[in-house]
Homo-oligomer: A and B are copies of this chain.
Amino acid sequence: MTAPRPVTINDVAARAGVAPSTVSRALSEPGRGNPATRERIRAIARELNYVPNSQAQALSSGRTGTIALLVSDVTNPFYFGIIRGTQQMSKAAGLAEVLIDTEDSPDLEGDMLRKMRRSLDGAILASSRLSERALIRLAGEIPLVTINRNVRGLPSVVIDSPDGIAQAVEHLVSLGHRDIVYVSGPETSWSNQARWHAMRKAAAKHGLEFRRVGPFARGRSSGTAAADAVLNSGATACVVFNDLLAIGLLTRLAERGVAVPGRLSVVGCDDIFGADFCHPPLTTLSGPAEQAGRAAVSLLLGRLGDPRAPAARRAVLLPTHLTVRESTGPA
């Protein structure tokens, strides 16, 4: 029952009658070395069930083969698609991926990043809460890519909700709504800013007054206050910062016996898990989250000088579209 010593590169080398360095090359330098010996070595490695020790590889090569994905809250379904996408892509690139929950705290986010920078080749920040300053400084220590956050000089992927917001306003206007209010998320949220700007622009285009209520916290529980505020505003329709908040709002509306969409139309953002089966099913902005995840890893690979990466674009903008369900109707 003694654990047998794991097989090392030396075992393979001995068995093949070559030097360890030759094995190293045969295994991890595609084009080089004699093809015949390389195949022989690979066969032996497979036969011996050799698995390279990644710590040792990292220590001597400087590349850890690991990236991190930082999210503000693992249990926020908004990240589902992004997580999927990054995992797909990093698996395809042979990278390990660590998922880190920053608990919505910029301090924790920074600490984690600093503490782990030595064991990571790079990191993807999905909805970073860090200040622009902090981000730029950290980017000097470890390759960074952001998602839904645009910082000068940092490669980023943004799901372009402004585009979708315009569609949403169009949709509401065509249903006869003239009084549309934006339900704001946290002031510090980059996405919230972007969405509010888009809202204003779209409203102006249609000659509507632009108003907002809030700011409200991201969570479902803020929906209560949000619903009351919207009702109070007298608007006939609202566009909500995100689906979590929108679903909370719907719940409160049901409690108060307010008909949706009869008395109030509601549009969410993100099309998260649940948006299609809440009551009523939510009209919302859908975006290619998985694709965003994949794109982020691609950009990171680019930053790492990986040849497998596509041409390094600095910023990727992904389109959103409106998914109409049952929470919107005639004014």
Q: Which of A13-61 contact B (CB under 8 A)?
A: 51-56, 58-59
A51 touches B115 (CB 8 A): yes
Instruction: Please tell me if A273 contacts chain B, counting CB pairs below 8 Å.
Output: yes
**A118 cross-chain contacts in B, Cβ below 8 A:** 6, 51-55
CA distance A250 to B277 in the complex (A): 9
**A251 cross-chain contacts in B, Cβ below 8 A:** 277
A56-B59, A278-B277 given as contacts; is B119 within 8 A of A101 (CB)? no
Instruction: Please tell me if A97 contacts chain B, counting CB pairs below 8 Å.
Output: yes
Distance from A76 Cβ to chain B, minimum over Cβ atoms (Å): 9
CA distance A101 to B90 in the complex (A): 12
Instruction: Please tell me if A232 contacts chain B, counting CB pairs below 8 Å.
Output: no
Instruction: Please tell me if A154 contacts chain B, counting CB pairs below 8 Å.
Output: no
**A77 cross-chain contacts in B, Cβ below 8 A:** 75, 77, 273
Distance from A107 Cβ to chain B, minimum over Cβ atoms (Å): 14
Q: Which of A70-109 contact B (CB under 8 A)?
A: 74-75, 77, 80-81, 83-84, 87, 96-99, 101
Q: Pick from B84, B116, B274: contact of A273, CB below 8 A.
A: B274
Question: Can you list the 3 inter-chain pairs with the closest CB atoms, starting with the nearest?
Answer: A279-B279, A55-B58, A75-B80
Chain A interface residues (CB < 8 Å from chain B): 3, 6, 51-56, 58-59, 64, 74-75, 77, 80-81, 83-84, 87, 96-99, 101, 114-119, 140-141, 247, 250-251, 273-274, 277-279
